[in-house]
Amino acid sequence: MASLVVLAVAENRRCAFVLEAAARLGWPAPRVVHWRDFLADPAALDRALDAVIGQAEPSRPLFLRVDSPGEDWDVERALIAWGADVEDPDAPRAERISAAAASTLAFERGRVRLGRQWYLGFVRALSRVRESVAQRPLVRLTSDTDEIAALFDKRATHARLSARSVPTTPLLASPDTVDALRALTRERDERRVFVKLWHGSSASGVVALRWDEASIAATTSAELAYVEGEWRLFNSLRVRRYTDESDVRVLLEALFREGAIVERWMPKATFDGDNYDLRVVTIDGRARHAVVRVGRSPMTNLHLGNRRGDLDRVRARLGDDRWQRVRARCESVAEVFAQCNVLGVDVMLSPNLQDIRVIEANAFGDLLPNILDDGDDTYTAALRSLV
């Protein structure tokens, strides 16, 4: 049994799942600090930790779980405001607004903007969380804030995995203009690449690009819209295909201004004619829960209209030895980010099933409803592993 403080969006189902897991294990009800309250008054976290320290039995461990700040507009605006005054030599062209402007920013459902400034604010907020924990030796983070920050930066994630020789979808470069991308693809004869925002998640702003001398095609979950005299980019639940070069340039320039990487487009294994990859959740270094993500487009994220595949059928096709190699690949990512109790690792196999590569790793990748391992969902398994 342990005591738990959770920094989360209190109304989000992620937080509800954590509370349910704690109750299932017979733990005291966790104290929840809403991201919104913390960003308005960081001392709110200090007060919550001190209150739990004061109430906890001396021998009982005390954990702080930092959960996703997503799906709350007030929190998003506050993080953008926190990033307003942070210097940023890495992305000089990224859109920046003042903290005051951020506080009154109008909600536009799905709009992709200010991602770099949001990230700078998020890192600053994580640093403040780390300070609170450093001042309280009895408190342990379930996942290290520095590692969470690195996992939200695709460049940093690639660098850490490459340094440990973990095979990934190959990173080609991080160009800052469409012309630089075009020069890169010509020089290396790369006709198919993925363009991804440095700090995007859930396929936000991801573009699968095919570009040769005769044609261009961009498959993406992003929707271009011309609003009030300017092009704007929105996340969409429908995958689109743009084939007009001027449209594709507008789309890509919006990404490069905020910071984007370019990866080689690796063909995925197929099942029943559709592409698939896997999301595997590691807990305390072990590959545990897994879901197969199946779709016809290059992006297999389930919220884009794709579907869960039959894991038993995939495992049977892979065979036990290859399935254990998949698990081992995910566990090698967990070794790199060893201070993260939970990771969501996206992994793909080549069409001949011989090549296993990591696509991405996610600090908050444990939202797999109704997927059990040894009778536990991801949240119960994660809490159980702490004690």
Give me the tens of pLDDT residue by residue for the chain, a chain 387 residues long: 899 999 999 999 999 999 999 999 999 999 999 999 999 999 999 999 999 999 877 788 999 999 999 999 999 999 999 999 999 999 999 999 999 999 999 999 999 999 999 999 999 999 999 999 999 999 999 999 999 999 999 999 999 999 999 999 999 999 999 999 999 999 999 999 999 999 988 778 899 999 988 899 999 989 999 898 899 999 888 889 999 999 999 999 999 999 999 999 999 999 888 999 999 999 999 999 999 999 888 888 877 777 899 999 999 999 999 999 999 999 999 999 999 999 999 999 999 999 999 999 999 999 999 999 999 999 999 999 999
21 residue type, one letter: A
- Closest by alpha carbon to 340, among 58, 156, 141? 141
At the topology level of CATH, where does 268-384 sit?
A: D-amino Acid Aminotransferase; Chain A, domain 1 (3.30.470)
CB proximity list for 68: less than 8 A, separation 6 or greater? 8, 9, 12, 14, 364
CB proximity list for 222: less than 8 A, separation 6 or greater? 112, 204, 205, 206, 207, 233, 234, 235, 236, 240, 251
What is the C-alpha to C-alpha distance for residues 66 and 73, in angstroms, rounded to an integer?
18
Half-sphere exposure of 122 (CA within 13 A, CB side): 24
Angle between helix axes 154-163 and 311-336 (nearest 10 degrees) is 80
Burial class (CB in 10 A: 0-12, 13-18, 19+), 56: middle
Q: Which sequence spans correspond to the domains of the chain? A: 3-142, 171-264, 268-384
What is the C-alpha to C-alpha distance for residues 379 and 377, in angstroms, rounded to an integer?
6
DSSP-derived secondary structure letter, 303: G
CB 131 within 8 A of CB 64: no
H or E element in which residue 138 lies: none
Dihedral sign (CA 111, 117, 120, 125): negative
What is the C-alpha to C-alpha distance for residues 279 and 276, in angstroms, rounded to an integer?
10
- Closest by alpha carbon to 221, among 240, 208, 202, 246? 240
